[in-house]
């Protein structure tokens, strides 16, 4: 029997079609076996007892993780937007090494700026978080000749990485990297992955690229490190706080490139979200393991 899926707060034609393509039917919450939640706010206070699955609309689930319903399996969009986010990340990496932000602001030929540009070929890129985004980025880096160090929780080998290190050796990867990419999830209440000590141990001229969550980086420590002039710079699609307040020093620094959390274009986001929903409805109908299951203890 086809599962009934409630799309809340309001269904859209695209996502209703995704549910149908997955073998389900869209219906009211009272009759639902599963719920696709589209809002950034909290879930409904009470879900019917027959609801066995809840699909959240984002890859990061820190806003919901403390109030998830006890019974249903909860899934996120983790990995669903990997391709477009990896594209954006590659753009930030290349823009940093090639000093695109500085060059675009220049009003005269600057030989010193040219001397500071770098090719990615032969550079070491440490990717902290080798989930969907990290793996997609590795595939894009391969033909460019970069040496990739993947950092994962346990350090198991990752296709596309020349080396893989466990999380407790993140410092080793960071100390060798020309570019450090943060593509890891944020755990509620955890300290930043990158603070003053970590920035101090990055090589001279290294770039920090963050497409994970703003809370992964101590913003004040980053400002101090950049002011010290040792880092190459930072390229950020996420910040803490988000957005940064008017007048914040990161806005005006020539060695900082900030994009306003736009790594996934709306058309790509909708397309990939619909595909994840279709795939999970199909798996749900067959009783198979769902994609993006949230680890309640880990917080992502």
Q: How far out from the chain centre does Cα 231 lie?
A: 23
CATH code, 4-80+265-286: 3.40.50.720
Ranges of beta strands (E only) in 183-287 are 207-210, 233-236, 256-258
Going by pLDDT thresholds of 50, 70 and 90, the confidence category of residue 136 is very high
Common-topology check for domains 4-80+265-286 and 82-258: yes
Q: Where are the domains of the chain?
A: 4-80+265-286, 82-258
DSSP tag of 227: H
Distances in Å between the Cα of 35 and the Cα atoms of 40, 78, 183, 261 are 14, 17, 28, 26
Closest to 161 in 3D by CA, of 134, 184, 181: 134
> What integer is the mean pLDDT of 241-259?
96
Mean pLDDT, the chain, whole residue set:
95
CA 286 to CA 52: how far, in whole Å?
A: 13
| Catalytic site positions | 213, 242, 261
Buried b (16+ CB within 10 A) or exposed e, 275-284: ebbbbbbbbb
Q: How confident is the model at residue 105 (pLDDT cuts 50, 70, 90)?
A: confident
- DSSP state for residue 194 in the 8-state scheme: B
* Bridge partners (DSSP) listed for residue 152: 166
pLDDT score for 107: 87
Using pLDDT thresholds of 50, 70 and 90, give the confidence band for residue 104: confident
User: How many CB atoms neighbour CB 115 within 10 A?
Assistant: 8
**This model's pTM is above 0.75:** yes
Residues near 254 by beta carbon (within 8 Å), at least 6 away in sequence: 101, 102, 105
Sign of the CA dihedral with 176 first, then 167, 67, and 77 last: positive
Model confidence at 250, in pLDDT bands (50, 70, 90)? very high
Looking up tokens 């440490």 gives 126
**Length of the chain in residues, anyone?**
300
* Highest-pLDDT range among 134-148, 188-202, 254-268: 134-148
Q: What is the number of alpha carbons within 13 Å of residue 202 lying toward its C-beta?
A: 29
Sheet holding 179-182, edge to edge: 163-166, 147-152, 124-128, 179-182, 207-210, 233-236, 256-258
pLDDT tens for each residue of 173-187:
999 999 999 999 888
Domain spanning 82-258: CATH superfamily: NAD(P)-binding Rossmann-like Domain (3.40.50.720)
Helix (H, G, I), strand (E, B) or coil at 223: helix
């Amino acid at each position: 029997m086809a599962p009934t899926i409630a799309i809340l707060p309001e269904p859209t034609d695209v996502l209703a079609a995704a549910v149908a393509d997955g073998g389900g039917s869209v219906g009211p919450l009272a009759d639902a076996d599963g719920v696709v939640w589209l809002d950034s706010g909290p879930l409904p206070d009470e879900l019917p007892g027959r609801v066995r699955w809840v699909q959240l609309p984002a890859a990061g689930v820190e806003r919901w993780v403390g109030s998830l319903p006890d019974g249903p399996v909860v899934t996120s969009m983790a990995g669903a937007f990997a391709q477009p986010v990896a594209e954006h990340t590659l753009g930030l990496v290349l823009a940093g090494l090639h000093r695109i932000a500085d060059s675009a602001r220049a009003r005269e030929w600057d030989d010193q700026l040219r001397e500071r540009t770098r090719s990615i070929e032969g550079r070491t890129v440490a990717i902290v978080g080798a989930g969907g985004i990290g793996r997609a980025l590795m595939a894009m880096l391969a033909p460019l000749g970069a040496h990739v160090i993947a950092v994962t929780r346990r350090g198991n080998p990752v296709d596309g990485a020349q080396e893989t290190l466990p999380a407790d050796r993140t410092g080793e990867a960071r100390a060798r990297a020309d570019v450090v990419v943060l593509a890891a999830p944020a755990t509620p209440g955890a300290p930043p992955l990158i603070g003053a000590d970590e920035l101090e141990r990055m090589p001279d001229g290294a770039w920090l690229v963050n497409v994970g969550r703003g809370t992964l980086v101590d913003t004040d420590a980053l400002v101090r490190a950049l002011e010290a002039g040792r880092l190459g710079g930072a390229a950020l699609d996420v910040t803490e706080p988000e957005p940064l307040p008017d007048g914040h020093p990161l806005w005006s620094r020539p060695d900082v490139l900030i994009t306003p959390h736009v790594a996934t274009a709306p058309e790509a986001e909708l397309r990939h979200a619909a595909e994840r929903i279709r795939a999970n409805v199909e798996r749900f109908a067959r009783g198979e393991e769902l994609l993006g299951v949230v680890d309640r203890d880990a917080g992502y």
